[in-house]
Structure 1
Amino acid sequence: MTPEAMADLHARCFTTPAPWSARDMAALTEDPLCFVLTTEQGFLLGRAVAGEAELLTLAVAPEARRQGIASHLVRAFLDEARARSAETAFLEVSAKNAAALALYLRHGFAQAGLRRGYYATSDGQRIDALVLSHPLSPAAESSK
């Protein structure tokens, strides 16, 4: 999937936070610490560094949702994070994105923090971000 296709899909999926541009996507895919996982109808961008993996964004075409694509991408992210020696994975999600929150909780993530008013909407409202984490190694699990 090209950075342009990723940006187009991201814009179809997100208004808050603001969609990422093709330039943003290209910069991330060129970063050796980042990785992109794709399917025909979706993609996930992740990064792994210093024992941590971050799920940067996940987008699935609206017409292809509820078919297991996001679950497949999250599982692949966790596998890739482990392969890159990450001990913990984390992400942030809008407190108002119930579908995404349910997906991540179903895959073993748990709330680790709260960023009040983190996202700004186009009409000036502020939305909290939930920080979620997932232990990937026995050491990370025991320190939980």
Structure 2
Amino acid sequence: MSFFDLFKRPSGLRIDPLGTDSASRLAAIHGASFAQPWSTLEFERLLGERGVVGDGVFLGSATKPSGFVLSRIVLDEAEILTVAIAPDARGKGYSIPLLERHLDELSRRAVRNVYLEVEEGNDPALALYRRFGFEETGRREGYYQKADGTRVAALTMTLGL
């Protein structure tokens, strides 16, 4: 049993690896989640790259994910590239088992340190990452541009596995 097995999982969902066939759905979720969305082509390219790992959360018998996480592994380190949950699935705790499964997979692949960036003020994401033990290690002022044109800091976070 891993440390992450201690978290309660919502019922009626499964976490499965993602392939390039999920790219359009991921682009739609990403577009509903971020001011600077990634295209279907960008997701196809990422999912086809060696070292990129993607996991999706699927509700019930759904064939399309309701959320996802993508990471890039280089040697014994990984960077979480993006995490997003569809608007109609937010606030239900689905990101917890999604990130749990993803971090377990990274650990199985001999990753020792995981890095990510998160927009300052994204309280749900910060709470999720802190719940898993991520610690703030840096700050990039004005890194993200919001939809209204204002700029906000990116917080860099690290987790040792």
The answer, yes or no, to whether TM exceeds 0.5 is yes
Instruction: Flag structure 1 segments of 5+ consecutive residues without an equivalent.
Output: 137-144
Instruction: Flag structure 2 segments of 5+ consecutive residues without an equivalent.
Output: 1-20, 59-65
Q: How many pairs are equivalent?
A: 134
Partner of 1:11: 31
Would the aligned equivalents of 1:11 and 1:19 in 2 still touch at CA under 8 Å?
A: yes
Partner of 1:141: none
Q: Residue 87 in 1 paired to residue 112 in 2?
A: yes
Report the Cα offset of residue 12 of structure 1.
Answer: 1.2
Name the SS for the 2:26 alignment partner: helix
Cα deviation code 1:16-59 (max 9, x no counterpart) = xx011101101110001101101221111111112111111111
1:51-66 maps to which residues of 2 (within 5 A)?
A: 51-66=76-91
Question: Comparing 60-69 with 25-34, which one deviates more in the overlay?
Answer: 60-69
Partner of 2:53: 35
Q: Residue 107 in 1 paired to residue 132 in 2?
A: yes
Partner of 1:119: 144
RMSD of equivalent CA atoms = 1.2
Q: Residue 47 in 1 paired to residue 47 in 2?
A: no
Partner of 1:140: none
Partner of 1:132: 157
Name the SS for the 2:32 alignment partner: helix
Question: Comparing 93-102 with 115-124, which one deviates more in the overlay?
Answer: 115-124
Of Structure 1 and Structure 2, which has the larger fraction of its residues in helix?
1
Report the Cα offset of residue 102 of structure 1.
Answer: 0.6
Partner amino acid, structure 2, of 1:51? D
Name the SS for the 1:73 alignment partner: helix
% identical aligned pairs: 38
Partner amino acid, structure 2, of 1:70? S
Question: Comparing 95-104 with 62-71, which one deviates more in the overlay?
Answer: 62-71
Task: Work out the CA distance in 2 between the residues paired with 1:113 and 1:99.
Answer: 19
